[in-house]
Chains A and B, each alone.
Chain A
Amino acid sequence: MRTFALLTFAALIAMAAPAPAANEFGSKDEAVAMVKRVQDMFKTEGAEAAFTAISDKSTTEFHDRDLYAFVYDMSGKCVAHGARPALIGKNLIDLKDQDGKFLIREMVDMAKGPGSGWIEYKWPNPITNKIEDKLSYVEKMGDYFVGVGVYKQ
């Protein structure tokens, strides 16, 4: 399944997506790739190092235009955030977006269930600082889940 999905994304990127460096905003593929990088670092360097790197805005590996990573544990507590450090340490399990969607709960359910997937919701864009539609890829990571999303333009 996971392999199938990756293959599907790869095919999609190969057929339709323009060159990543050329776009003003990050793409879905780039988001997924960033998730993979987080996974790698989490595995190789440990959770603390990965969380610090994610939250440090100077780390380019996890900060690319409007792309950034976020990590929550399964209770909904934010442990690392690339754009909004104020949220670190806060439990946002009951957080709703402007449409009333419990987005963190859905992410937890996704991580606990399929283990990964896309979730659409509304979230403030760090660049425009406006709440916009966002599509995030979320993936289980040990006792946590990690996600990177793109803002729909």
Chain B
Amino acid sequence: MADVAVLPASRAAGSSGLRSIFGVFHNLPIKLKAAAASVVLFICLLALGANAYITSTKSAEGLRLLSHDLEPKLQDISGLNAAVVATQLKIFRYVSWASNGVSENLLNQLHQDIVADLGRLNGRIEALGRRTDLSADDRSALQSLSAKWQKCKSQAKDTVDVGQTDPAMATMMLGQTDDSFKAVDAEIQNLAIETTETANGVRTSLYADAEQNKRIIILGTALGLVISAFVTFLVGASIVGPIKSITTVMQQLSAGKTDVEISHRERRDEIGKMVQAIDVFRRNMIEIRAMEQATHQAEQNRVAERSAAMHALAGEFEQSVQQIAKELTDAVGAMHGNAEAMSRIAAETRDKSQATAGIVIDTQTNVDSVAQAAEELAKSIEQLAAQTQSARKLTDKTVAESASASANVRQLLDAVSQIVPITGLIQAIAQQTNLLALNATIEAARAGAAGKGFAVVAAEVKSLAQQTAKATEEINQKITAVNASCGAVVGIMEQVISAIGRLGEGTLEMASAVGQQAAATQEISRNAQQAADSSRIVAHNIVELDQKTRENDDASGQALAGAKRLLDHAAVLQRQVDHFLRHVRAA
């Protein structure tokens, strides 16, 4: 924090001007800061470009002047000079030829040639004077040249004209012609020198411009680089440094440290806004932390209260359990008695079933006797149709009643089969209760005040005792029903017997009347046989009943085993209750 806060101050310590530059720069938006270096470079580039444009334009103008004006002018001038010298030489040649006997034909040709040359030279000089790129000096020099040329031309013409007829005189005139040619040459030389000097001036200026342009480019580039580097450094100092410090602050804040110092708060750019926002975060963190502490304190208080309440509840619960354990011991004794009673009842039921079976066997024997009697009657009861009809009805009734008896016996079987699980349950409960009682006694003796595990055991035992009471009641009812059913069976069987007896009497009465009706008698016999079969079915059912009763005994044994398992469960339950209580107290 400190280094960043000090950074601008230490850098600006040199001068107040630099500091104010920094201050203004700090408050600029980041977008402008980022653009600053580019803008500086752009300005430098623009200046360099403008300079290059101006210099190039100047250079182009100079080169154009050289190549389009001065060089052609120089070429014209030197060409003129050469032509003048050539013409002069021709004049000399002419005079020489004229003085030395060259044929008139050749002389005339050369004369015409020289005259034409003089005309052409005149045209060239005039053309030079018509040039548009002439300076004032050029014009005056050309005027002088023109004057001298006119004289020279005139003298040259005179010389060759005189030469046609008077070579000696032409020789005399060569001197003046030579002079005037020299004067013309001198003027041409002056013009050439002047033009060359102008061209040299242009070249020198071009060279100087190029040199200056080179210096400006080097200087401008260096200046642009230095300024943009400085601006870049300024941007770095103004953005990167503060952002680093802000990053550190944010990291400390995210690590939970809220007493950090936040600098750059006074800046008016994005960094200043960022710093203000971070400060808001920091204050929020402090407030949230205070709120969290308050909430935590309240939570601790509530937990303590709840723990105390739980301890109190556990104490009460334990007391209840001890009382219930005591009650359980009593209940277990009662259940044991009940179980023994149940066992006795079951044994009685079995005996009664066996007795019923014996009666049924007797019934069967009787029915067999009826059948035999019917056989005997078969030969002599043909006339006893009505009696036989009656006998048939009776027999039918007997059959129906026997069926009813059979149904009753089945009912009895159902009842007894319902007894089986109940009896088993009762016996199991009885057994378990017995063991629980034993266990409770041992626990109570061993643990004394710490016998809290009895809480659940006692509840279970209590529930078991209630169930046992209910079951015992149900068993009593069912046993009564069995008794009733058995009585009904006995009654019906007696009715069957009496019906059969009446049938026997009826048969005796009808024996004389229907002795010959063998078929009827045989039918009776068959009916009797059917009755016998029914009796056998009854007997068979009774035997099954007996078997079921025996199975009752087996179920009782199973019930005892179940009671033992119940005891085991009770022990598990007790342990779980212990565990639960420990947790409750610990909470």
Contact = CB atoms under 8 A, between A and B. Distances in A.
Q: Which of A85, A90, A129 has the most CB atoms of chain B within a 10 A radius of its CB?
A: A90
A124 B167 CA distance: 10
B161 A95 contact: no
Contacts of A131: 168, 171-172
Given A94-B155, A96-B176, A87 B171 contact: no
Contacts, number: 48
B158 interface: yes
Given A97-B172, A131-B172, A86 B179 contact: no
Interface in B210-230: none
A100 B164 contact: no
Interface residues of A, number: 18
Contacts of B172: 95, 97-98, 123-124, 131
Contact of B165 (A86, A97, A123): A86
Interface residues of chain B: helix, strand, loop or mixed (majority) = helix
Contacts of A86: 161-162, 164-166, 169
Contacts of B180: 94
A92 interface: yes
Interface in A91-112: 91-92, 94-98, 100
B162 A94 contact: no
A152 interface: no
Nearest to B159: A90
Interface of A: 84-87, 90-92, 94-98, 100, 123-124, 129-131
Contact of B175 (A87, A90, A96, A130): A96
B169 A124 contact: yes
A115 to B, nearest CB: 26
A87 B168 contact: no
A43 to B, nearest CB: 29
B476 interface: no
Contacts of A95: 172-173, 175-176
A130 B171 CA distance: 11
A81 to B, nearest CB: 9
Contacts of A87: 162, 166, 169
A90 B158 CA distance: 6
A81 B218 CA distance: 80
A53 B317 CA distance: 187
A91 B155 CA distance: 8
Contacts of B151: 94
B176 A94 contact: yes
A94 B155 CA distance: 9
A84 B170 CA distance: 11
A91 B154 contact: yes
B162 to A, nearest CB: 4
B111 to A, nearest CB: 13
Contacts of B168: 124, 129-131
Contacts of B175: 95-98, 100
Contacts of B173: 92, 95
Nearest to A93: B176
Given A94-B176, A100-B175, 15 more contacts: A86-B162, A86-B165, A86-B169, A87-B166, A92-B158, A94-B155, A94-B179, A96-B175, A96-B176, A97-B175, A98-B175, A124-B172, A129-B168, A130-B168, A131-B171
A92 B180 CA distance: 12
A96 B172 CA distance: 7
Nearest to B169: A84
A97 B175 CA distance: 7
Nearest to A99: B175
A124 to B, nearest CB: 4
Nearest to B166: A86
Interface in B174-189: 175-176, 179-180
9 contacts: A84-B162, A90-B161, A90-B162, A91-B154, A91-B158, A92-B158, A92-B173, A94-B155, A123-B172
